Amino acid sequence: MKKIAVLGAGLCGATAAATLTQQGYQVTVFDKGRAAGGRMSSKRTDQGYLDMGAQYFTARSDVFKQQVKVWLDAGRAEIWPCKTALLSNDEGFISLKASEDEQARFVGVPSMQSPVTALLHGITQVNSCRIQKLDYQWQSWTLFNDEGLSYTGFAAVLLTLPPAQAKQLLAQSLLPALFDTAADILEPCWAVALQTQGAAAQDAIFCQHPKLRFISHQQHKTGRNPCYILHFNASFSALHLQQSTEFWFAEAIAILRQELNIQQEITPLVAHRWLYASQKDQVAAPGLIALPEQQLWAGGDWSYGGRVENAYLAGLNLANALIEQNKSQQETP
Ligand SMILES: Cc1cc2nc3c(=O)[nH]c(=O)nc-3n(C[C@H](O)[C@H](O)[C@H](O)COP(=O)(O)OP(=O)(O)OC[C@H]3O[C@@H](n4cnc5c(N)ncnc54)[C@H](O)[C@@H]3O)c2cc1C
């Protein structure tokens, strides 16, 4: 049975790992985080989870619709009954308008990472393990982490890290520089959670705003702490990347007061910085990246344009690329 190392326990890595496990491969998933989920992680609080990363996902392709149905049937996901609105900016005049649509939006239950955790059920995971070097000798990969531990004997490696981190890992491993412009494809986002009293009029506010890209309220998501989550846009987040959480709390509170006219007490909960959050609009998606001779493949949401659904599709395609390569090697006389 071939041993495969999957780096990254986000949705892409989990999907690849589950697909390969079903095909009889022996998979180990490594992640630097304490738990699986990646950018679908939620933070646990006494009052429920806070979705600091992805707020919801949509399903357009048949294959992802089928997977979402499995999660819905297993109680790992639900439809988010969200009221949507648009915070629009007309020549500096900002206004909030209802903008209902027919789009089905889904969330994990009881937290955003639940679908990822479900995929990884029964698969060996090594968490809190930052891989910082790879070595390929005699058709076998060895992984080294930042505490000096090594993991050896893998026939193939799948990298499902954000491309800037994958590029750095390849450089540290003296492997070919497979990522050039693709390394800069993901942009940062500061996310801030704030508590207010009472219900919110809208659950999902899309923002055309100088600072913000999205405001979400968690009142209609099962298992969540019912509060606001604000996502600052890439340019404002990048401009103030190193600012303290106090700066971000003050910015977020000012926005709730000015734009949503919230007068009651606002309590800051959590501010989280994502260095690699979502895809730049202008950049073409590079697809999967590979060193097929050495059985190394790289992919993630960024391969196909960002978002949760594309992370899933990338995970499937990474696994299938490896399976196909192995089949053709077995068929070669
Ligand atoms: C603030 C925010 C809001 C978002 N909103 C939405 C939304 O509403 N809808 C939507 O569809 N998408 C949204 N997204 C995007 C969505 O979360 C991602 O597309 C998706 O989760 C990416 O999955 P992935 O597996 O490709 O990557 P990731 O989830 O980033 O997984 C990569 C994993 O690699 C690990 N890793 C990195 N370096 C190493 C290393 N050296 N060693 C070991 N492990 C390592 C990381 O810890 C991480 O767990 C949002 C993202 C953010 C950050």
Are the C-beta atoms of 107 and 78 separated by less than 8 Å? yes
Residue whose CA is at the smallest distance from ligand 1 atom 5:
54
Could you give the number of structural domains in the chain? 2
Which residues line ligand 1 at a C-beta cut-off of 6 Å? Answer: 7-13, 30-33, 38-40, 53-57, 130-131, 160-162, 165, 169, 189, 191, 231, 274, 277-278, 300-301, 306-308, 311
Alpha helices in the chain (DSSP H): 11-22, 62-73, 114-119, 163-172, 234-239, 245-259, 308-331
Same domain, 157 and 207: no
* Among 32, 33, 1, 27, CA closest to 14: 27
Instruction: For 42-85, write each residue's pLDDT tens digit.
Output: 999 999 999 999 999 999 999 999 999 999 999 999 999 999 99
State which ligand 1 atom lies nearest to the alpha carbon of 168: 41
CA distance 218 to 269: 14
Same domain, 234 and 197: yes
Q: In what order do the strands lie in the sheet with 140-145?
A: 131-137, 140-145, 150-154
State which ligand 1 atom lies nearest to the alpha carbon of 189: 1
**Helix, strand, or coil here: 117?**
helix
- Give the helix/strand (H/E) hosting 191: strand 186-196
| Domain containing residue 104: CATH number | 3.90.660.10
Give the pLDDT confidence score for residue 154 in this predicted structure. Answer: 98
Same domain, 96 and 128: no
pLDDT band at 333 (very low <50, low <70, confident <90, very high): low
Domain that holds residue 232: 42-112+186-279
Same domain, 102 and 202: yes
* Among 291, 307, 314, CA closest to 136: 291
Tell me how many degrees the CA angle 284-10-185 measures, rounded to the nearest 5: 20
Q: What are phi and psi of 3, to 5 degrees?
A: -90, 130
CA distance 199 to 307: 28
Average of per-residue pLDDT across 222-237 = 97
Torsion angle of the four alpha carbons 87, 90, 91, 95, in this order, in degrees rounded to the nearest 10: -50
Would you say residue 137 has pLDDT above 70?
yes
Same domain, 106 and 190: yes
Would you say residue 330 has pLDDT above 80?
no
Give the pLDDT confidence score for residue 151 in this predicted structure. Answer: 98
CA distance 209 to 215: 11
pTM of the model: 0.97
| Domain containing residue 315: CATH number | 3.50.50.60
Average of per-residue pLDDT across 149-156 = 97
Same domain, 172 and 195: no
Would you say residue 91 has pLDDT above 80?
no
Same domain, 90 and 232: yes
Same domain, 257 and 319: no
Give the pLDDT confidence score for residue 281 in this predicted structure. Answer: 84
Same domain, 126 and 275: no
Share of the chain above pLDDT 90, in %: 87
Same domain, 178 and 308: yes
State which ligand 1 atom lies nearest to the alpha carbon of 311: 26
Same domain, 274 and 125: no
Same domain, 190 and 245: yes
Convert 36-62 to b/e letters by CB count within 10 Å (16 or more is b). Answer: bbbbbbbbeeeebbbbbbbbbbebeee
